[in-house]
Homo-oligomer: A and B are copies of this chain.
Amino acid sequence: MFRVLNPLLHSELRLGVVSLLMGVEEADFTYIREQTHSTAGNLSVQLEKLRTAGYIEIEKGFRGRKPCTTCRITTAGRAAFEEYVEALKTYFEKGK
């Protein structure tokens, strides 16, 4: 009846990050922090978890002379997100 919800995605912030990255080529740390209304500390921790899981890639570079961390979703990340959506549906569809 109810499918298991991938705990890595079933977190408000990580879900926001992945959802955001699903819609763009890439996004940098500051932009993600703004869009998700998260603190830098929390975001840093959650991005690292997503990276460890292989759901995103993190590239540390520079924009001008300032450091700039860029994130991109991976194929595995996309698949996990889509699977999560399917699992969630079991909580909202009538009966089944």
Verify B92–A35 contact, CB threshold 8 A: no
The proximity string for A residues 53-78 relative to B, scoring 1 for CB distances below 8 Å and 0 otherwise, is 00000000000000000000000000
Q: Is A15 an interface residue (CB 8 A)?
A: yes
What is the CA–CA distance of A2 and B20 in the complex, to the nearest angstrom?
A: 9
Q: Which of B2, B4, B36, B88 contacts A88 (CB 8 A)?
A: B88
State how many copies of this chain the complex holds: 2
| Pair A15/B85 contact, Cβ less than 8 Å | no
By a CB distance below 8 angstroms, the chain B residues around A2 are 16, 19, 35-37
Those of A26-52 within 8 Å (CB) of chain B: 35-37
Known: A1-B35, A12-B10. A23 touches B85 (CB 8 A): no
